Structure 1
């Protein structure tokens, strides 16, 4: 496990550009890959780039962070500090910010064009795991035994979209529906013990767009709202020890999880519901879409998108 000294050598960001091809502009802004120690509140920039980068994942050994940008996937080595390196994802050209790493660190699972793919962690031709058809899949979680993937699904077969959560065999095969309905749900992730799936959704919303944090058993039963209030909360990420979650919070009245908003990251102790605000910054979509806890549960990685010349 890499010991990142937040007061030392990893605290100064470098200005780097993502290699290769066209990319979606964030003109007037930069992307900052940041890490925060949830116990001390110390927050540092690891990387700053004029390109759009999103959704950091830690490698299970803690030696690198993976993220997406320009429709591709990239690795940032942490020991020693290194440049962004592209990961070969073969024929997939539009990887989005829904991606996870297998617990053994050997497979990268990515989402692109409404499908889910498996790619060797060192790169290679992807293998599509989801069927063709009218359902779009967005990947968010992997079980601790590495056997299952948790996906948000949107059934596009009729005018009225139907949202769902399904578990998909990590080696491929028929997906199993856990939740289906007309109200949006998103971001399903397993607890480390495999008993629970955390997710965000509008199941109890009084107004459109009011997403809240829920938990259900791994078979889709016993759905319970876990965070209460009028704010709009997205993407709960259980900590490696299963005792805490971190999530992103939008202001009251926000619809969806748009980019470039003033947002906050909150930390909650599951046992007693005690909550602490960890960070406030310009971000949103792409900042904390997937689980970004360090393997030891000490650090949380996220992306901020400040305007050029504006200190966060």
Structure 2
């Protein structure tokens, strides 16, 4: 079959050149909110640029997102957009979370000295950013409800694993050691579990572990999907995740410009967890739902879909 594909010039989607897949110039972004109960999406705002990774505020009044290296805040009711002051922290990627104290966000910023991602705290009131992780690369995904601990994906000695660190800074603790990419760690609201995704079984799947790294348990067993970034709702009864079909990406790839699906799993430890089911199909991928974007009511979540320029 490989010989036939070569003779006919047929490529798998994931064999396209990286430049073609990652070219996002002229792309449009649509910030939308999905309602679990009605099954309907509502458009909040259209952007003539790439925006990524919405976070929903604890009071339900605004969302934050990243675009062109900066972090922005959009009021839900008015649609007013303001930039969050971050000074030299001006090359943020789509791995960021709001701080539970309401002061600002923890962000992942590619620093000028080496271009690698480090975690900083930035503030709504204009205070100077504070460095949390001197070691790099570090990509933030989770914070405990009390704001004391952060969880992130980091590359150390050639392996990508999950680490935690006090939000005030200090020594990091490695939680995973499985070969291959372990990514997207996110605390549940009680701080008991960390949800994450891992490629350790050969396909990217959703996993869960205790906050100390024990009891690492596979939660999805999708035969034909690579599942990324499981986001647990505030009431701990719903998980949404991004899924790429096996034909479109390699298991460890999380790229833009793909047809993807957002899938929902419901349940609890007492009743058991359902099989994931698709609730949305869209053009997206990287930036669609990288970080937790659940509303405080556990009924709605925000996401971004894209349109090619």
**TM-score, normalisation: structure 2:** 0.85
Report the CA distance between 1:145 and its aligned residue. 1.3
Residue 198 of structure 2: aligned partner: 201
CA distance in 2 between counterparts of 1:108 and 1:29 reads 26
Aligned to 1:37: 35
Deviation above 4 Å: which 4+ runs of structure 1? none
The answer to whether the 8 Å contact 1:162/1:181 transfers is no
Q: Following the alignment from structure 2 to structure 1, what is the Cα–Cα distance between the partners of residues 67 and 216? A: 34
Q: 2:164 aligns with which of 148, 161, 167?
A: 167
> Which ranges in structure 2 are unaligned for 5 or more consecutive residues?
1-21, 111-116
Shift of 1:45: 1.1
What residue in structure 2 maps to residue 94 of structure 1?
Answer: 91
2:136 corresponds to 1:143: no
Alpha-carbon distance in 1 for matches of 2:266, 2:126 = 37
Which residue number in structure 1 is paired with residue 179 of structure 2? Answer: 182
Counterparts of 1:64 and 1:247, CA distance in 2: 22
2: CA distance, partners of 1:240 / 1:71: 28
What is the correspondence of 1:153-302 to structure 2 with a 5 Å cutoff? Answer: 153-155=154-156, 157=157, 161-205=158-202, 210-230=203-223, 231-253=225-247, 254-255=249-250, 256-271=253-268, 272-274=272-274, 275-302=276-303
Matched-pair contact (CA < 8 Å) for 1:88–1:123: yes
The CA deviation string for residues 28-62 of structure 1, in whole angstroms up to 9 with x for no partner, is 53101010001111101111111110000011111
The structure 2 residue matched to 1:128, chosen from 127, 131, 136, is 131
Aligned equivalents of 2:220, 2:191: Cα separation in 1:
20
TM-score normalised to structure 1 length = 0.84
User: What secondary structure does 2:273 align onto?
Assistant: coil
Provide Cα deviations, 1:44-84, integer angstroms capped at 9, x if missing partner.
111111111000001111111000001000010123332x2
- The unaligned stretches of length 5 or more in structure 1 are 1-23
Deviations, residues 155-179 of structure 1 (Å, cap 9, x unaligned): 1x4xxx2121111111111111111
Contact 2:164–2:174 under 8 Å retained in 1: yes
The CA distance in 2 between the partners of 1:49 and 1:147, in whole Å, is 34
Aligned-residue Cα RMSD (Å) equals 1.5
Q: Distance in 2 between matches of 1:96 and 1:124?
A: 20
